[in-house]
Amino acid sequence: MQLLDGKSLAKKIEESVTLQAKEFKNRTHRVPGLAVILVGHDAASQAYVGMKKKACDRAGFYSVTHEMPDDISQEAIVKTIEMMNDNPNIDGILIQLPLPSHIDTTKILEVVSPSKDVDGFHPYNVGRLATGLDGYVPCTPLGVMELLSEYNIDPKGKNCCIVGASNIVGKPMAALLLNANATVEICHIFTDDLKKHTLAADIVLVGAGVINLIKEDMVREGAIVIDIGINRASDGRLVGDVDYDAVAPKTSYITPVPGGVGPMTIAMLLSNTLKAAQNHGGEI
């Protein structure tokens, strides 16, 4: 079994992005800029936003966080996004999810200019991904593809079973794997006999948010297991969706949690923001 080390690959990507951001600054006299919109006081969201800001600082990006109270109106969020759409110092706009229940998340995501949609959640970029065109791809599944590529794992012709069908993880993961010529199955909460599907897979990719969802008897010998889940165990530890200790010895490759997909997500956010800055050039 070999570990897919997202932590060290993320560091390598960060270093390359930092260098390219310097070159971009020399050429255009400005740095890539990221705006984050954070609504409410969810501790996990605050922690994620803090990590993203630190990563921007390390890469030499400009970043700004718009913190808004839980009871903020839809209109006020829309106005802030429109301001960021028009701000030439901002290349990427990230709406930290989840938003409070009185906010229409779909409508909010549609306000973000597709050219600044570094999370790849705007329907325009979702459509481009689905049709195999260049655009902005959601950071977590993009990070998984980078990780596979780093270890020379080609999904072409492989049976891939994705567990979890959300817009931010499972569905874009499926599109990326399909574009890479894999055979793709997507399982979700209503899937009957999950084990039947995971057992048949060469690559099992899990992002469901359920601790120990994938057990030792659900994975075939030599399979590749990508654990996208991030959960807080009752003892405070961060754990994934895979029963790691039992499953890992059966696999050929596996991602640890933490240190697997998580750091790759942040590295891809930097990479997407740099790409947006390069697309915008010196002027927006």
Q: Does residue 228 belong to the site contacting ligand NAD (CB under 6 A)?
A: yes
Q: Are 58 and 11 in contact (CB under 8 A)?
A: no
Q: What are phi and psi of 260, to 5 degrees?
A: -110, -100
Instruction: Please report where in the chains the tokens 């400009």 appear, as a residue.
Output: 62
Q: Does residue 49 belong to the site contacting ligand NAD (CB under 6 A)?
A: no
Starting at the earlier edge strand, list the strands of the sheet with 159-163: 2-3, 253-254, 224-227, 203-206, 159-163, 183-187
Please name the residues in contact with 24: beta carbons below 8 A apart, sequence gap of 6 or more. Answer: 30, 31, 32, 274, 277, 278
Name the one range near ligand NAD by CB under 6 A: 35-43, 118-126, 208-216, 274-282. 208-216
Q: Are 111 and 78 in contact (CB under 8 A)?
A: yes
Q: Does residue 80 belong to the site contacting ligand NAD (CB under 6 A)?
A: no
Q: Does residue 175 belong to the site contacting ligand NAD (CB under 6 A)?
A: no
Q: Is 52 a catalytic residue?
A: yes
Q: Is 116 a catalytic residue?
A: no
Q: Which of 78, 130, 153, 210 binds ligand NAD (CB under 6 A)?
A: 210
* CB-nearer residue toward ligand NAD: 33 or 141: 141
Q: Is 202 a catalytic residue?
A: no
* CB-nearer residue toward ligand NAD: 87 or 258: 258
Q: Does residue 259 belong to the site contacting ligand NAD (CB under 6 A)?
A: no
Residue 259: CB minimum distance to ligand NAD, A? 11
* CB-nearer residue toward ligand NAD: 88 or 98: 98
From the candidates 91, 119, 227, 241, give the one annotated as an active-site residue. Answer: 119
Q: Does residue 229 belong to the site contacting ligand NAD (CB under 6 A)?
A: yes
For 181, other C-beta atoms within 10 Å of its C-beta total 12
Q: Does residue 208 belong to the site contacting ligand NAD (CB under 6 A)?
A: yes
Q: Are 114 and 123 in contact (CB under 8 A)?
A: no
Q: Which of 79, 102, 188, 195 binds ligand NAD (CB under 6 A)?
A: 188
Evaluate the omega torsion of the peptide bond into residue 123 and state whether it is cis, within 30 degrees of 0. no
Q: Which of 93, 109, 169, 248 binds ligand NAD (CB under 6 A)?
A: 169
Q: What are phi and psi of 231, to 5 degrees?
A: -130, 155
CB-nearest residue to ligand NAD: 166
* Residues forming a β-bridge with 187: 163
Name which of 166, 90, 92, 170 is nearest 136 in CA terms. 92
Judged by the rule CB under 6 A, the positions of this chain that interact with ligand NAD are 140, 163-166, 168-170, 187-189, 191, 194, 207-210, 213, 228-231, 261-262, 265
| Residue positions annotated with a catalytic role | 52, 96, 119
